[in-house]
Structure 1
Amino acid sequence: MDEKSRRPARPVLWMVGLGVAAAVAYLAFLGWDREKDLDPVTGAETGPYEAWQVVGLALVVGALAFVAGRKHQVVPALAAIPAVLTLAFVVTAVTSPEPGLWPIGAALMALGSAAGTAVMALIGRSTAKRFPR
């Protein structure tokens, strides 16, 4: 096979790889925690996630998007990462004991992860242009 016939598979492989990595990151940081915390003093219920879990997920998917952008794979990152994170959130929310307002959370997850992925992928792409290897 020549170079041109193999070229279209590369973005697909990037999408699959980024999607799997985003799913693993979601499960590692958020997928296992489903219990809300009750503050004994105020009686307020929070959670189920702690701040470190959300920050950890954001750092990992931000790094994935940055690397994808650096490798000129911005579109696969924008297609895979937000879609997988939103799907994982929806599955987790719908199967929780109190599904509640999950459509709003899903919309926020989709918009926030798309915006964050776009910013990090474009930063990665700009560093690849300014600091080529």
Structure 2
Amino acid sequence: MRQLPMKLVPQLLAILVLAVVTLAAWAAWLGWDQHRDVQPDGTTTGPYEAWQVIGLLLALLAPVYWAASRRYIAGAVLGTTVGLTGAAYYDWSDDSSGLFVIGVGMVMVGSFFVTAVVSAVIVSVKRDQGPRTVAA
């Protein structure tokens, strides 16, 4: 009975670490850009550029790989999802229309499914590789 809590500690720690890393990555890639660009025709875009979002996604691959390759699937999926959802909520909650909740929900669902698929692929590839032996 005592073994179960000890097996949960690394998973919970992985969730916490991934959530904090994800929040820091959001702040580094997206948190500083808060202004919209006005186009010549009067429309607005932004506040994020495509390179910022791509940079965030690429930056998150390393911690997701770290967690999934160590079989901390819950850490990879839930930590990243919680971090992105929390960051999006904090960053977008000043929207007076209330529509930001839809965007936050889309971030939550999308990040959950994408990190679940990426984690499954990583685990599958790592399992297929098996243990490596060094011939002397």
Tell me which amino acid in the other structure corresponds to 1:76. Answer: G
Amino-acid identity (%): 30
Report the equivalent of 1:43.
42
Query: Larger radius of gyration, structure 1 or 2?
Result: 2
Report the equivalent of 2:109.
111
Superposed displacement of residue 8, structure 1: 2.5
* Runs of 4 or more consecutive aligned structure 1 residues displaced over 4 Å after TM superposition: 2-5
Match of 2:61, SS state, is helix
- TM-score with structure 1 setting the length: 0.86
RMSD: 1.9
Identify unmatched segments of 5+ residues in structure 2: 132-136
- TM-score with structure 2 setting the length: 0.85
Tell me which amino acid in the other structure corresponds to 2:43. Answer: A
Match of 1:78, SS state, is helix
Give the aligned length: 129
Alignment of 1:86-125 (within 5 A): 86-95=85-94, 98-100=95-97, 101-125=99-123
Identify unmatched segments of 5+ residues in structure 1: none
Report the equivalent of 1:32.
32
Match of 1:33, SS state, is coil
